[in-house]
Structure 1
């Protein structure tokens, strides 16, 4: 597929939690699409996946929505070789960067969708198949009139719960305090979830989540970061 014509895949037009940013791909990212997409890329239109078949083994599966340029996701795939990782992102430069770096690091436990996350969850990810779900630093849509665009809403959490195995973990992180509070207010009422830190408490950053350059810069400026870790209860 021509990397210059590579576009995110969509099936429907709901209110979206993102906008497609214009961004110029580097030569390395273009080459990665041309040479590595067949290794790492998965199409929305491939339909429902058997995850063991997709990765060629039986292993815990971690799914991340909105991985940006993919540095932390690539690091996690390298540092946790016992797990398989699925990344979903709509921005071609970020996808190109991730698969380029993954190829350089000879990562084998990573697959990538460049599509709308809701479409992927609905059409490609089996129920009760994920061991961890990750959403790091999503767009906070901080203006009140834009709050409805935030991806973290009750129907979204219900959808993630459906895809998680019992004992699976929802991990969210944000550097916007108001959005952290919104996440807490959305997650806490779900009786199927346990807050690992205790009721209405935020968690310490787990070791597996790398500190990004963006996060380090924010810390130097005195910005906070809030992690939320909720576990899906085992079936009774």
Structure 2
């Protein structure tokens, strides 16, 4: 899943890989990327120019294969969904879902999410940020690579409008505790509930989540609001 910026001064939390794609998905990428793809660059971008309208914007960081993105966007046509991913296979798969479902309110950004939030989008311009099942980097020596850490949370919070929401989910209990601690410590965010939130019905079960359930790991949702 895509996560943090890869400059020499920032620790990456992802390893880009192309992965295998079927001929159909390769065709989907070639056919649909020009209309629905966004290359992450260090330049300001107006979401209205990307989507062809002005609507509340949801940014999903690490959309994986895109099934959850497509389901949520289809059920939420009044908002626009910008899915950020670095892995080619996931991008191609989501583009195929966009094409087959005729989703006009989804675009796929290829590249680093922190660069997108700090360089391409205006501060306070995002209605919601979704981070579902990011890489937990379970080994202690890799914890510094986790997406949810104070310096990144400051970027996420700054991108949100006042009243906008940051919704995270994980199946790693230790990471859930860290998420709760880090998000609670940010003075610009407030928890919408006591501790962990109940899983919202609007969030579909992802493949990553199902793997956690099958392994017997508890699922933790955290929903914070910018104040």
Closer, same or farther: CA 213–12 of 1 in aligned 2, 3 Å: closer
| 1:167-218 deviations in Å (ceiling 9; x for gaps) | 00000000000000010111001122110112xx000111221112442343
1:42-72 deviation line (CA, Å, top 9, x unaligned): 1223721112232122211100111110110
Q: Residue 202 of structure 2 is aligned with which of 196, 204, 208?
A: 208
1:114 correspondence with 2:113: no
For 2:147 and 2:35, locate their aligned partners in 1 and report how far apart those are by CA, in whole Å: 29
- 1: CA distance, partners of 2:57 / 2:93: 22
Given the alignment, which residue of 12, 22, 26 partners 2:7? 12
Pairing partner for 2:157 from 152, 161, 168? 161
SS of alignment partner, residue 41 of structure 2 = helix
Per the alignment, do residues 60 and 36 of structure 1 end up closer, same or farther by CA in structure 2, a change over 3 Å counting? same
Residue 184 (structure 2) pairs with residue 188 (structure 1): yes
Q: Name the structure 2 match of 1:53.
A: 49
Partner in structure 1 of residue 221 of structure 2: 227
Measure the CA separation in 1 of the matches of 2:117 and 2:33: 20
Q: Relative to structure 2, which stretch is displaced further, 41-50 or 84-93?
A: 41-50
Distance in 1 separating the partners of 2:105 and 2:161: 19
Give the Cα separation in 2 of the matches to 1:221 and 1:152.
Answer: 23
- Aligned CA RMSD, in angstroms, stands at 1.6
Q: Which has the larger radius of gyration?
A: 1
Residues 25-48 of structure 1: CA distance to partner in whole angstroms, max 9, x if unpaired? 111221011100011101223721
Q: How far off its partner does 1:125 sit?
A: 1.3
Structure 1: which 5+ residue stretches go unaligned? 1-9
Change in 2 beyond 3 A, CA 1:220/1:125: same
Pick one of 88, 93, 107 that aligns with 1:97: 93
1:69-101 Cα distance to aligned partner (Å, 9 max, x none): 011001111111111000110000000000011
Q: TM-score, normalised by structure 1?
A: 0.89
Separation in structure 1 between the aligned mates of residue 159 and residue 122 of structure 2, nearest angstrom: 6
Report the count of equivalent residues: 222
